[in-house]
Amino acid sequence: MLGEVSRLLPRTQSPGTQPLTFMDSMVIANLFLLLFLGLADNQMIAALLPSLVKSFGVSVSTAGLLVVVYSLAAAVASFFSGMLSDHFGRRRFLLAGGAFFAVASWAASQSRTLNELMLARALTGLAAGTLSTCSITFAADWFAYNVRGRAIGLISSAYFAAPILGVPIAAQIADHFGWRRAFLFFGGLAVVTTVATLRLPRERLNPQPSTEKLRGAARAFRSFLTRRDTAAALVIAFLVSGGLVGFLTYIGQWLNTRFGLPTRTIGWVFMLGGIVAVGSAPLGGILSDRWGKRVVSIASNILLAVAVAFVPFLPWGLGLLGVFALASLGAAFRQGPLTALMTEMVPAAQRGSFIALRNISSQMGIGATAYVGGLLFQRSGYAAVTSLCAVMTALVVVLLATHIVEPKGQ
């Protein structure tokens, strides 16, 4: 067996009717900041893409490789940080990830060639993968399943606060001072966030010999790949992240080429979607605690698939913004329930390893869709990209309905 990471967390036994304590709120706020850091940094590439294409004189598909290398690096970091955090705790990886993120962001701001920037983004991806895996796993360790939808819904609103705050700020900085300053801004934010992470509660560990840890980790990974439900969950992670990021990565370039929108206006479009999503992400988590994580996830993915399919066929105006807002609503509503659902599919002692595999699959989905999406955008336009993303999202609905059962978490 893997070494159990025991917690000083009485919250994991609390009933769903209890309100969140002050410490609960502090944990949520801290994990929100950690998740926000990597997400906003990654999502801003969509707004910076036109500037990067002009700065380096490359094609859209070539510049899109920045997302691919970031995702591959994040997948590698997720694997090791998730597995090791099952034995050594999540907190120390969150602190190390935040500090490394600051250094890598500074390196990106100093890049003079596309190759240098790609290397810096790969290093940033290593840090972001660690932050993503360990922040979600820390939350799952802290909160019981019957309140986890609400808690992770609040934490996961970082996915959508990023377009509200991170992307518009990055777009404005890039528009006025150049894209390098945008990376420097996130480096400074990483320093502040890492200092705040020192306030996370410490963990108490139950160590085991290293050889037993390695054998246990190997058995856990094999079981995840052979079990019907966990294997389906990994495919779902691939489709969920790939479908959403593929849709968002090239929408900025599409708005620029089709409607002539400048970078700062594209940033405001992302902000609109983020406002809708941040308001609805916690609600999706709350409703999932009452109605079931699986049901809310299925309904949300249906809404998202339909909205994504319609976006490229609309003219610039309120109609397009409204459908984009619906896509944001669908993406936000599913985030907390789907994440909470997956964290309960394995024992707590294997949770870090499973979330690591889930994040690896997620990053592979992002990298693959970003690469294929760039080729499709170059050859057939944005409608081809959104068609791919809509199909991927629809497949999530099928897998949830046929392979996943709602856990009876206590």
pLDDT for the residue 410: 41
Residue 388 · residue 372 · CB < 8 Å = yes
Residue (of 3, 207, 2, 202) closest to 94 by Cα position: 202
Residue 171 · residue 266 · CB < 8 Å = yes
Residue 31: which residues within 8 A CB-CB, separation 6 or more? 135, 136, 138, 139, 155
Residues of the chain short of pLDDT 70, as ranges, are 1-20, 163, 203-219, 221, 408-410
pLDDT for the residue 396: 94
Residue 274 · residue 162 · CB < 8 Å = yes
Report pLDDT digits (tens) over 7-36: 444 344 443 445 667 777 888 888 888 888
CA distance 261 to 316: 10
Residue (of 362, 146, 164) closest to 276 by Cα position: 164
3-state secondary structure the chain: CCCCCCCCCHHHHCCCCCCCCHHHHHHHHHHHHHHHHHHHHHHHHHHHHHHHHHHHCCCHHHHCHHHHHHHHHHHHHHHHHHHHHHHHCCHHHHHHHHHHHHHHHHHHHCCCCHHHHHHHHHHHHHHHHHHHHHHHHHHHHHCCHHHHHHHHHHHHCHHHHHHHHHHHHHHHHHHHHCHHHHHHHHHHHHHHHHHHHCCCCCCCCCCCCHHHHHHHHHHHHHHHHHCHHHHHHHHHHHHHHHHHHHHHHCHHHHHHHHHCCCHHHHHHHHHHHHHHHHHHHHHHHHHHHHHCHHHHHHHHHHHHHHHHHHHHHCCCCHHHHHHHHHHHHHHHHHHHHHHHHHHCCCCHHHHHHHHHHHHHHHHHHHHHHHHHHHHHHHHHCHHHHHHHHHHHHHHHHHHHHHHCCCCCCC
The pTM score is 0.70
> Which of 80-107 are b and which e, b meaning 16 or more Cβ less than 10 Å from the residue's Cβ?
ebbbbbbbbbbbebbbbbbbbbbebbbb
pLDDT for the residue 19: 66
CA distance 369 to 247: 9
Residue (of 376, 399, 41) closest to 186 by Cα position: 41
pLDDT for the residue 238: 94
Dihedral (C-alpha) 351, 356, 359, 365: value to the nearest 10 degrees? -120
Token representation of residue 17: 């009717």
Token representation of residue 214: 């390695």
pLDDT for the residue 211: 55
pLDDT for the residue 310: 93
CA distance 333 to 224: 26
Dihedral (C-alpha) 33, 39, 42, 43: value to the nearest 10 degrees? -120
Given the structure tokens 């955008």, which residue do they identify? 377
pLDDT for the residue 228: 87
Token representation of residue 59: 């094609």
Sign of the CA dihedral 396, 397, 398, 401? Answer: positive
Residue 281 · residue 157 · CB < 8 Å = yes
For 44, 68, 103, 114, 169, the CA distances from 173, given in Å and listed in that order, are 11, 24, 19, 20, 6
Query: Which sequence spans correspond to the domains of the chain?
Result: 21-199+209-403
Quote the CATH superfamily of domain 21-199+209-403.
MFS general substrate transporter like domains (1.20.1250.20)
> Which of 315-324 are b and which e, b meaning 16 or more Cβ less than 10 Å from the residue's Cβ?
eeeeebeebb
Residue (of 160, 382, 348) closest to 255 by Cα position: 382
